[in-house]
Structure 1
Amino acid sequence: MDLGINRQALVPVVQQIVSAIAAWIRESGVSPGTRLPSIRQLAHDNLLSQSSVIEALERMVAEGVLASRAGSGFVIAAQPTASSSLAECQWYEGAERRWGAFTDNQLGELKLGCGWLPDSWREADDISYAIREISRTDTAGVFNYSTPLGLPVLREQLHKRLAQIQVASSAERILTTHGASHAQDLLIRTLLKAGDTVVVETPGYGNLYRQLAFHGVRLLEVPRTRSGPDIQTLETLLVSHHPKCLFINSLYHNPTGTSLSRGVAERLLHLASTHDFLIVEEDVYGDLQHASCIRLAALAHDDRVIYVSSFSKTLSSALRVGYLTASTALISQVLKLKTLTGMGTSRFAEAMVASLLANGTYRKWVQRLRRRLSAEMAKTLQVLEDEEWEVFAVPAGGMFVWARPGPGGGSRLHARARQLGVLLSSGELFSPTGEHADWLRINVAYACDHRALALFKAMGPAGSTSTILKTTGM
């Protein structure tokens, strides 16, 4: 078995072994119980140390891909049962349809289109320290409910952060939630009823579409351009349908990576006043800002803008800490629903976030994260240009690029991605109607992995030429 080990690559040899064997399992379609070549043979054929091969195989045993049998070496493990598979599945925002919204990632597929940072980028020491501090100094934080609006010390920190980005608010007008999706759900149930009409951007966040549809809300689509929603289309929809709300992702838009221009932002606010609708502005990627950006909530809006954000994308999705700020009257309404349906949020998690904000740890972490993402964005855009992929827009920051292969590449894309062990987030997953699109959401934090680079190259001019030569037998 030729594992194709590249000793010049930045990827550790053990990880290359794991990826190569996983790819062989996917591509060959071998049955459970099939025996792998011996450790000695794998090491000899690929000029590897036996210790590296053993470490890789043991890692795959721990992941449930292989099984170790006395006297038989390592074999392909049986597929997990439905119940155990369900227990191990992880949420994957926008996975390719054949995996669905949840995936066990059993063969270590690269989540090229996911909406969060790699685990290797996380800085666990700061969170561990905060956990110890809260456990030692705040007994109430370990055992008690949070206050209805959210922990006061956290809301005060959030008020300070909002002031830094020119979003006018107060601690009394901030309500904490279990992340941004929870905030969106509370707003949908408070503001809307079945049969009501709202405007959403397309492409946009698929989970928002599903939340709205679940509550029987009718969705009107407005195309996302490089500078924000298409104003002309929006004006036509407003005149014809009189929607109650517009849901928008202003900064580092998911999935296109674009940001609002001032002209579009000012026009949106004028239309909201003229046609009497509310704007729900989600800003979960806003902390990645490293340049001058426009937020609707930072402009004069007469309480027509409801601002939603969270720490899931930057700090930790496991903490489930988000928040929204709105008019006092609306906060009062949402508060009743929040208390009725969940008895409040996690005091412990909120105390941790408040501590990280107050001592400056979060600010320093985000600064490092911005620099790292900026470097990865530049490298990703260069690779896509070299391989002649089409890019929708060059983002000013954030973690997403919206791109597609050159002409003729789309038909081969998904098959090649599966062969390489790459999970895609395809364009139809960001459409309210699931309309087919060749576009992909690419997370730049994963884009320089060797599997992603191989996919970009395979879909570029060189990959197309190679395919033609093989087909013609030349």
Structure 2
Amino acid sequence: MKIKLDPMKPAPLKEQLVHQVEDMIRSRQLPVGARLPSIRQLSAANRVSRFPVMEAYDDLVSRGLIEPRHGSGFYVTHSASAQDHGQRGADPGVARAESGQILRQFNAPASASPLSSGFIPAAWRDVENIAQCVRQVSRTDVASLVDYAAPQGDMVLREQIARRLACLAIDVPSQQILITHSASHALDLVTRMMLRPGDTVFVEDPGYFNLFGLLRLQGIQLVGVPRRQSGPDVDAMQALLAVHRPKLFFVNTVFQNPTATNIAPQVAFRILQLAHQHDFSVVEDDVYADLQPVPTQRLAALDQLDRVIYIGGFSKTLSSSLRLGYIAAHTDLVRDLVDVKTLTSMGGTRFSESVVATLLERGVYRRHMEKLRHRVNDALMRAVEQLRRSGWEIYEEPCGGMFVFARVPHIDDSTRLVEHATGFGISIAPGTHYRPDKQMSPWLRFNAAYMSDGQAQAFLESAVALA
């Protein structure tokens, strides 16, 4: 079995491997029962990371072309045919492969330091005031303990969100806001409503790995647009538009995950120009908006929800248990999204919606965010200084938020650092997870809130010695 993977080719390594193996099965060069090289053998023979090989094998397993046998390896199960491609819905094998990184956050030992976590520490949450509002809602809105929320969401909460969006110069009435179970749920609803298997979307590279998994689960083709300090590389985007016809472009505006950069006004304007010229919509994921003390330009403010679908949420800043997100979009789309939400989850969680509405009405959330911003910014400055002092390179100077994207100079594959971190009791995700094509990456995402302990410092200093 001769397979050649070339990192210099434009096609991702995973796709190169999938296509070559599939062609061999289709042409019967690999008959049913044939054993494939192990992941370690194939990665070593081609001098590439094991991750694209793992992803390719997962893809082939999900298509039913090969199967894993415990302790033995991977074997061809049957010949490729037309019925193997594009004829079915979401595959559980794909879901299993894509959910791994998220599950690892929950399954990591309690003693492990979660350096790449996407969460704010529990000690930084306003638990006391949340508890007070929970007690108040339990007394004054007893029905919320047992009833569904209205499918579009609590009216008071939607009005509060509309007031908050007005501070970002997004003029939207409450009728154009839909409450969701989370920002991730909002992305899922948009994907279900606006995309079909085989459609192409643009995403940021690097970007949000959970979004990438969600899109792949639905059979969507991802095309990565490089993310720079001022936002997506619009020149690269224009070149990609000469080849691809995306239905949507998913983009983080503020404190982008994982680079913590912001979109500059001129870049935002150019993205909207390209959206009009090439007839695609923009999904603006602004889940970190409330961590920004002075608002910068939003795509939705420039566009006023013509082609932009705006998504926000409270899980990152308020409570991951009171999981709530929202979508702001033009009237017809919100009406359609309400139908999809009703069919897939009936209504929302009335209790959570009532509690969050109360926190907003009473000004508790505003006061909490004022304190949290100072705390996060202080941690971020210390983390950047800590990384630089230890000899790490910063991807771009963070504008704020929780994250720092950094690398050890001269180490091209961050999986080496991930494996090294386990010896220090540290759980961290490799940079390949933040790339839509899962290609090798030297970068790691750090959550500044978790970098003050001795484990983190010892890891940072020792990692540089590996170069």
TM-score tier by shorter-chain length is 0.7 to 0.9
- Contact preservation (8 Å) 1:250, 1:281: yes
Selected match of 2:179 from 149, 158, 176: 176
- Contact preservation (8 Å) 2:411, 2:442: no
Alignment match, 1:123: 126
Q: Please state whether the residue corresponding to 1:176 is helix, strand or coil.
A: strand
The structural deviation recorded for 1:341 is 0.9
Q: Please state whether the residue corresponding to 2:326 is helix, strand or coil.
A: strand
CA distance in structure 2 between the aligned counterparts of 1:103 and 1:179, rounded to whole angstroms: 18
Is it true that 1:454 corresponds to 2:458 in the alignment? Answer: yes
The structural deviation recorded for 1:239 is 2.4
Alignment match, 1:8: none
Selected match of 1:304 from 304, 307, 322: 307
Tell me which amino acid in the other structure corresponds to 1:450. G
Q: Which runs of 5+ in 2 are unaligned?
A: 1-97
CA distance in structure 2 between the aligned counterparts of 1:427 and 1:413, rounded to whole angstroms: 10
Q: Please state whether the residue corresponding to 1:355 is helix, strand or coil.
A: helix
Q: Please state whether the residue corresponding to 1:354 is helix, strand or coil.
A: helix
The structural deviation recorded for 1:95 is 9.9
The structural deviation recorded for 1:384 is 1.1
Selected match of 2:109 from 91, 106, 109: 106
Alignment match, 1:354: 357
Alignment match, 1:277: 280
CA distance in structure 2 between the aligned counterparts of 1:412 and 1:308, rounded to whole angstroms: 35
Selected match of 1:327 from 317, 327, 330: 330
Q: Please state whether the residue corresponding to 2:242 is helix, strand or coil.
A: helix
Alignment of 1:29-178 (within 5 A): 101-106=104-109, 108-178=111-181
Alignment match, 2:439: 435
- Contact preservation (8 Å) 1:252, 1:397: yes
Q: Please state whether the residue corresponding to 1:454 is helix, strand or coil.
A: helix
Aligned-residue sequence identity (percent) comes to 41
CA distance in structure 1 between the aligned counterparts of 2:122 and 2:451, rounded to whole angstroms: 15
- Structure 1 residues 408 and 179, CA, compared in 2 at 3 Å: closer, same or farther? closer
CA distance in structure 2 between the aligned counterparts of 1:302 and 1:329, rounded to whole angstroms: 11
- Contact preservation (8 Å) 1:96, 1:426: no
The structural deviation recorded for 1:242 is 1.6
- Structure 1 residues 293 and 340, CA, compared in 2 at 3 Å: closer, same or farther? same
Measured against aligned partners, the alpha-carbon deviations of 1:128-156 in whole angstroms (never above 9, x if no partner) come to 10110000001121121111210011001
CA distance in structure 2 between the aligned counterparts of 1:411 and 1:325, rounded to whole angstroms: 38
- Contact preservation (8 Å) 2:168, 2:295: no
Tell me which amino acid in the other structure corresponds to 1:265. A
Give the TM-score normalised by the residue count of structure 2.
Answer: 0.76
The structural deviation recorded for 1:100 is 5.4
- Structure 1 residues 441 and 102, CA, compared in 2 at 3 Å: closer, same or farther? closer
Measured against aligned partners, the alpha-carbon deviations of 1:14-59 in whole angstroms (never above 9, x if no partner) come to xxxxxxxxxxxxxxxxxxxxxxxxxxxxxxxxxxxxxxxxxxxxxx
- Contact preservation (8 Å) 1:175, 1:325: yes
Instruction: Indicate the larger mover: 320-329 or 414-423.
Output: 414-423
Alignment of 1:252-267 (within 5 A): 252-267=255-270
Q: Please state whether the residue corresponding to 2:219 is helix, strand or coil.
A: coil
The structural deviation recorded for 1:447 is 1.2
CA distance in structure 2 between the aligned counterparts of 1:426 and 1:433, rounded to whole angstroms: 14
Q: Please state whether the residue corresponding to 1:445 is helix, strand or coil.
A: helix
For these two proteins, the number of residue pairs brought into alignment is: 369
- Contact preservation (8 Å) 1:291, 1:396: no
Tell me which amino acid in the other structure corresponds to 1:270. Q
Moved over 4 A (4+): 94-97, 408-412
Measured against aligned partners, the alpha-carbon deviations of 1:432-459 in whole angstroms (never above 9, x if no partner) come to 2221111000000111121111111212
Alignment match, 2:319: 316
Give the TM-score normalised by the residue count of structure 1.
Answer: 0.75
Selected match of 1:404 from 403, 407, 414: 407
Q: Which has the larger radius of gyration?
A: 1
